[in-house]
Amino acid sequence: MSTALFLADNEPASRGYLERNLRDDGFEIVADPLRRPDLVIVDDGSDFERWRGEAPVIVLGRSEADAVERVRAFRRGCDDYVPRPFHYDELVERIRAVLRRVRPAEAAVVEAASLRIDARTRGVTVCGKRVHVAQKEYELLLKLARDPDRVFTKRELLREVWGYTADARTRTLDSHASRLRRKLREVDPVTPFIENKWGVGYRLLGDLPAQ
């Protein structure tokens, strides 16, 4: 499942910018304030104490905010404080860092269809048979396998697997996905591993062919 964010930023330009880019990076923007999000982004004038115990909060503060104001925000219950003007890539990494702190540890063994990944040994098997994958192929596969039905955007995968911090014109992802698909389907030709959703990105398990 994608990460659900609720934006309580009262600056229209900032809010629109964040909505567009966060969606491009695979986040879901929650419009209904009654739905519980995974994380809330607010401005420093918001009454964000209402989220305490419900969801972690990142405050987008005023550029002139001093240490006293930042300390006051933490005492009110925020989980991180990012002054304006903020750098988008840094904000995304702060979102992910907060989520890592509040979420339970990820499973060491990931299974999806006939695929099994042991994150402790970095071992990959399909139908019980070992599949040898390169380092970046493994990282891409593990990312997809942790949410096998979700479509990850190309921008998101390039950021999280390869570390790109901006839109990049590269075939790196496509070539790795193609090699990975070939290796997996050599063992299990039935399961539609590594489906390319054209114009969007990739997911691990595509639709099974009709019987």
* pLDDT given at position 175: 95
In CATH, what number does 4-102 get?
A: 3.40.50.2300
The string of pLDDT tens digits covering residues 52-79 is 888 999 999 888 888 999 999 999 999 9
- pLDDT score of 189 more than 90: yes
pTM of the model: 0.66
The alpha helices in 6-134, defined as continuous H runs, are 12-24, 67-76, 88-102
Q: What confidence score (pLDDT) does residue 208 get?
A: 55
The tokens for 44 are 């420093």
What is the CATH number that goes with domain 109-205? 1.10.10.10
The Cα–Cα gap between 57 and 78 comes to 5
**Spatial distance between the Cα atoms of 61 and 183, rounded to a whole number of angstroms:** 48
Domain ranges of the chain: 4-102, 109-205
Looking at the predicted structure, is the pLDDT value of residue 210 above 70?
no
Other CB atoms within 10 Å distance of the CB of residue 78: 25
φ, ψ of residue 99 in degrees (nearest 5): -65, -35
Is the pLDDT confidence value at 132 over 80? Answer: yes
* pLDDT over 50 at 211, yes or no: no
Report the C-alpha gap between 177 and 193 in whole angstroms.
Answer: 10
Helix, strand, coil proportions of the chain in percent (round to 5)?
35, 20, 40
pLDDT at 1: 57
Please tell me the predicted confidence (pLDDT) of residue 207. Answer: 61
Task: Give the 3-state secondary structure of residue 113.
Answer: coil
Average pLDDT, the chain: 88
The yes-or-no verdict on residue 209 having pLDDT over 60 is no
The mean per-residue pLDDT over the stretch 110-125 comes to 94
Which tops the pLDDT comparison, 167 or 59? Answer: 59
Q: Which pLDDT value is given to residue 103?
A: 81
Q: What is the pLDDT of residues 2-55, one digit of tens each?
A: 789 999 877 788 889 999 999 988 899 988 766 789 999 998 877 888 888 889
208: helix, coil or strand? coil
